[in-house]
Chain A
Amino acid sequence: MFEYAPAPESRSVVDLKPSYGLFIDGKFVDPADGSGFKSINPASEEVLAEVAEGGAQDVDRAVRAARRAYEKVWGPMPGRDRAKYLFRIARIIQERSRELAVLESLDNGKPIKESRDVDLPLVAAHFFYYAGWADKLPHAGFGPDPKPIGVAGQVIPWNFPLLMLAWKIAPALAAGNTVVLKPAETTPLTALLFAEICQQADLPAGVVNIVTGAGETGRALVEHDGVDKVAFTGSTDVGRAIARAVAGSRKKLTLELGGKAANIVFDDAPVDQAVEGIVNGIFFNQGHVCCAGSRLLIQESVADRVLESLKRRMAQLRVGDPLDKNTDIGAINSAAQLARIKELSDAGSAEGAERWSPPCELPDRGFWFAPTIFTGVTQAHRIAREEIFGPVLSVLTFRTPAEAVEKANNTPYGLSAGIWTEKGSRILWMADRLRAGVVWANTFNKFDPTSPFGGYKESGYGREGGRHGLEAYLNV
């Protein structure tokens, strides 16, 4: 046997303070009522830092700071000068990427190989990409002189803390807006390190404000009168509440919500690569991915063969310490999320689906869930309809391309889909019919700042990324 010795990434690159304030108007300040919460490492349950809980008063302060910066500094600033700041931020992110990656893995639980090889390169790429747009907005297709909207209130989830921050802040700033961003309560630390990077880059005070807190803080932000634009990524339930809160106001809104994506494997698919795509589709980031390929649709004639290969591959997945460079699957982000995954998985068993996980030892402390597949799933099962947001795959079969389309579209969501076939014409035929914002062909979970991303139906509206992503932050 060839056992890999532990290969932990060093924690010493991260210099964590015992407590963090709110980042408002270029400075870290204490919250008005002095309350706070703890951010823990989900792999060990140790407390990483104490973080301020922003209340309505703090949100008000932050929005006022953002308004001042918008009117006095950032709004009037020529695009080429805004670009200089964004390029500077992008370069600092690259320089400090190891530190950011380690902190992301500590606070979120995702394996270091993903924060190092996926999250951080994409974060920097997003800032570089939108920095390039800042002085070229007249050429973006939104008229000769498109104007920013004003102050953006942005609420982001815990699954890709820093990447979602980049998706929100980079286009907003490039277009000339200022922002107040609320990171998720379980993963606020990289956003606070990003605030330090804004200071390091000499970004004018008030252009970026970070207000940490939970749901109430987010509500105060999206409901604040001084906010011109609301951008939210997270669950469909919260997205609905935000849409109601914003309805009838002047606020523009973009929502990027849940998904229950179909990953469709045809009988002529390249099997070994399709299996990699299935694994990447559902086990990447512990399945905490809104566009995860959580419903596997296999053509019935190759179902046994594909499942056999999939199970063999799953047995190779290494679950454990997120900071070990050889870990494939890290910790579930929180006790609450773990409870939800367990609840839905138990419902899958209770409803008669067959559950399988490879033998794997889970650590005693922290929040863990073994990679799991359910076979014999039908459209009527809860695990085929509800978003689990964990490393749990529901396997269904189909007979014809038309049936595959029908089953894939038979969900209230419509964020992404995957197609595996060697036949190019079938890929195009399917892509025309799938109601999903992103359709991947012979690959899955591929992201690029130049490519727009967003959903149909209850997966939200608006697009992030690419030229399209600018629209949400321009007065068009």
Chain B
Amino acid sequence: MTATATSARSDLSELGRSETALRTFLHGLPGVDQVGAEQRAAQLGTRSIKTTAKAQAIDLAISMVDLTTLEGADTPGKVRALAAKALRPDPADPSCPHVGAVCVYPSMVPHVADVLRGSAVHLASVATSFPSGQAPLEIKLADTRAAVEAGADEIDMVINRGAFLAGRYSEVYDEIVATKQACGDAHLKVILETGELATYDNVRRASWLAMLAGGDFIKTSTGKVPVAATLPVTLVMLEAVRDFRAATGRQVGVKPAGGIRTTKDAIKYLVMVNEVVGPDWLHPDWFRFGASSLLNDLLMQRTKLTTGVYAGPDYFTLD
């Protein structure tokens, strides 16, 4: 790092102290033209990824999956099975990489921790009254602390969309700062719930707000509202992490979640990462997929590539 590069970096840490400063900064970000952003995302989606590139992309995508179950019906048995799959997605092929993390509700964390102990698979827990976030701050923080104490090393929080849409940016900021503190050493992923923010301008502002407040990852969605991750939303978020690193030197990860079900979809996201932010983000430390059914499709395509034939769905485990 040269001296000039360091001095060119902006110190944005003071912005959170004043509602006015925060608002001025967020509203001063360049706008997003909806038609243009969607067109760019669609164009990236036409890249043709074949043979060796496809094999590479599939293994990378598997290693980036946050294997997720967030149901009222989750039980210790269910989440243990999921955790076992996370460690060995394809029992028939030891060369298959393990996934990035398992993602569950806080009450399920201890059961997953038992299975994952000693492995490189991370344990993520949603917290802060996921998915709505409509609870008093103290309860959200207690939720977070409980998850970390139970063994989660990644916390997926939700932002206060009500406060964001009402323009109370400081409130959103302070909640993220407090949650980050409650996380201790655990990594904080900040869920923007882009389906509720509705515009790309809002997505860009919320992305910067989450990064300014200390989020380690920005994540699109809870998967609990009708519109989850889309390619254009992820494009806007990738541009935000790229510009944030250029401004501050700190790299933040991105996690699209919800609605990504096929290998073809996953590869489109990887192409977008590759061409918008570059290879620095092509690693499970910096890019994740929040998904459940995606994994089996990746495994099916992986087997097809190595054996030349499609195996039936019964050859892949359902957990």
Contacts and interface: CB of A to CB of B under 8 A. Distances in A.
A276 B236 CA distance: 13
Interface in B147-179: none
Interface stretch (B47-55, B127-135, B181-189): B47-55
Contacts of B57: 2
Given A2-B56, A2-B57, A270-B31, A117 B36 contact: no
A5 interface: yes
A316 B239 CA distance: 15
Contact of B35 (A3, A272, A442): A442
Contact of B30 (A3, A270, A277, A325): A270
Interface in A269-296: 269-273, 276-277
Majority secondary structure of chain A interface residues (helix, strand, loop or mixed): loop
Interface string A426-445: 00000000000000001100
A7 B48 CA distance: 6
Interface string B1-43: 0000000000000000000000000000011110111011000
Contact of A268 (B31, B51, B53, B60): B31
Majority secondary structure of chain B interface residues (helix, strand, loop or mixed): helix
A2 B33 contact: no
Interface string B262-299: 00000000110011000100100000000000000000
A260 to B, nearest CB: 24
B46 interface: yes
A311 to B, nearest CB: 13
Contact of A5 (B52, B270, B282): B52
B36 A2 contact: no
Contact of B53 (A4, A113, A270): A4
Contacts of A316: 275
Contact of B49 (A7, A113, A422, A442): A7
Interface in B239-262: 239
Nearest to B274: A2
A476 interface: no
B279 A2 contact: yes
Contacts of B49: 4-5, 7
Interface string B38-76: 011000001111111110110010000000000000000
Nearest to A112: B48
Contacts of B51: 5
B167 to A, nearest CB: 19
A5 B57 CA distance: 11
A1 interface: yes
Contacts of A422: 31, 33
A2 B53 contact: yes
Interface string A24-36: 0000000000000
Contact of B50 (A5, A113, A276): A5
Interface in B95-122: none
A272 B275 contact: no
A419 B57 CA distance: 38
A273 B270 contact: no
A325 B274 CA distance: 17
A442 to B, nearest CB: 5
Interface residues of A, number: 23
Contacts of A7: 48-50
A443 B36 contact: yes
Contacts of A276: 36, 39-40
A326 interface: yes
Given A1-B279, A422-B31, A277 B36 contact: yes
B40 A3 contact: no
A269 B32 CA distance: 9
Contacts of A2: 53, 56-57, 60, 270-271, 274, 279, 282
B202 to A, nearest CB: 14
B31 A113 contact: no
A4 to B, nearest CB: 5
Given A271-B30, A272-B239, A276-B40, A4 B35 contact: no
B37 to A, nearest CB: 6
Nearest to A271: B30
A270 B274 contact: no
A273 B36 contact: yes
B279 A273 contact: no
A4 B270 CA distance: 11
B35 A443 contact: yes
B54 A5 contact: yes
A450 to B, nearest CB: 18
Nearest to B52: A5
A276 B32 CA distance: 12
Interface string A244-257: 00000000000000
Contacts of A326: 47-48
Given A2-B57, A2-B282, A442 B33 contact: yes
Contacts of B33: 270, 273, 422, 442
Contacts of B270: 2
Contact of B46 (A1, A3, A113): A113
B239 A4 contact: no
Contact of B32 (A1, A5, A6, A273): A273
Contact of A325 (B48, B54, B279): B48
A113 B44 CA distance: 11
Contacts of B54: 5
B37 A117 contact: no
A272 B32 contact: yes
Contacts of B48: 4, 7, 325-326
Contacts of B30: 268-272
Given A5-B53, A273-B40, A117 B46 contact: yes
Contacts of A270: 30-33, 36
Most buried by B among A2, A7, A113, A117: A2
Contacts of B279: 1-2
A179 to B, nearest CB: 34
Interface in A1-25: 1-7
B53 A3 contact: yes
B273 to A, nearest CB: 8
Nearest to A7: B48
A6 B53 CA distance: 9
Given A5-B50, A7-B48, 12 more contacts: A3-B56, A5-B51, A5-B54, A269-B30, A272-B37, A273-B37, A325-B46, A325-B47, A422-B33, A442-B33, A443-B35, A443-B36
Lowest 9 A-B CB distances belong to which pairs? A273-B36, A7-B48, A325-B48, A273-B33, A270-B33, A5-B53, A271-B30, A270-B31, A5-B51
Interface of B: 30-33, 35-37, 39-40, 46-54, 56-57, 60, 239, 270-271, 274-275, 279, 282
22 contacts: A2-B57, A2-B60, A2-B282, A3-B56, A5-B50, A6-B50, A7-B50, A113-B46, A268-B31, A269-B30, A270-B36, A272-B30, A272-B40, A272-B239, A273-B33, A273-B36, A277-B36, A316-B275, A326-B47, A442-B33, A442-B36, A443-B35
